[in-house]
Amino acid sequence: MKITSLPIHFLAVISFLLCGTLLNAQEHSVAEANDEGPVNTQQEITDYTNHHLKDSHDFHLFSYQGSDGERHSVGFSLPIILWASNGPVAFMSSEFHHDIDGEVVVEKGGSRFVNLHDKIYELEEGAEEIVMGEDHHPVNAHKPFDLSITKSVFGILLVGLLLLFWFGSLGKQYKKKSIPTGFGRALEPLVIYVRDEIARPNIGEHKYRKYMSFLLTVFFFIWVSNLLGMTPFGFNITGQIAVTVCLALFTFFIVQFSGNKDYWKHIFW
């Protein structure tokens, strides 16, 4: 594998995209304030930011003020897949009409559902609306088994498809010639970095190849996820504790089952 120089026009495109991302980050707070009305206090700014960083059942791109004086959201809904009391239920999140306060009730499959703070609740039999207790938790609703495609799940699937496409194309190029072309020339230095700076020094010359697939997958998954998080589309994949826990567990079990006697000596002595 050889490191090849990138063409000037490709570097120019990458620089332009990075500059656009930085400019967007600088103007983000101003755009948000103009997007849905004035945001004045620090608490309002924090709440607004957290709302867009949290996982949700729809994909909000932007909003605008129409000729009727009302604000209209632009985005697309995501599928809600539940295993409710009466069996599996599936519908689009658009049926909640962007409500996250539990006011809109959706009836499907003989059950009633509400969206409360982006958590789907199933109302108890006979309940017409959700009732909150003194502890601010629902007293007449429960959470069904949720398999919905949320914004974070959509982002994970998108990153997975991108990695399959990029490295599938890179693998085909290496079968035909030793020097990749196109976007593969940008991926090659990163692959070499993982191999020479992470795998070889820490695992050893004789066994590093065995773990290269895992290391490359984790490295590029985190890298692409963080790059998507810098775009205005609201991705926050690695900000979800479930994602980081899964990555940590995979690494933990691989280390435990691959450790030799020297490793265990350092653990116990």
Q: What is the pLDDT of residues 230-267, one digit of tens each?
A: 887 778 888 888 899 999 999 999 988 888 888 888 88
CA distance 70 to 50: 24
pLDDT attached to residue 9: 45
Mean of per-residue pLDDT scores for the chain: 80
pLDDT attached to residue 162: 93
- Report whether pLDDT(25) > 80: no
Positive or negative torsion for Cα 119, 124, 125, 127: negative
Element (H, E) at 167: helix 151-176
Structural tokens at position 120: 């789907």
For residues 119 and 55, which has the higher predicted lDDT (pLDDT)? 119
For residues 29 and 269, which has the higher predicted lDDT (pLDDT)? 269
- Report whether pLDDT(46) > 80: no
pLDDT attached to residue 3: 40
Q: Compute the chain's Rg from CA coordinates.
A: 24
pLDDT tens for each residue of 186-219: 888 999 999 999 999 988 898 899 999 999 999 9
Given its phi and psi angles, is residue 28 left (phi above 0), alpha (psi -120 to 50 degrees) or beta?
Answer: alpha
Contact predicate 243/252, CB 8 Å: no
Calculate the alpha carbon distances from 243 to 74, 190, 221, 238, 263 in Å: 27, 23, 11, 6, 27
- Report whether pLDDT(12) > 70: no
Q: Out of 13-17, 43-47, 69-73, 168-172, pick the least confident.
A: 13-17
Rounded to 5 degrees, φ, ψ at 161 are -65, -40
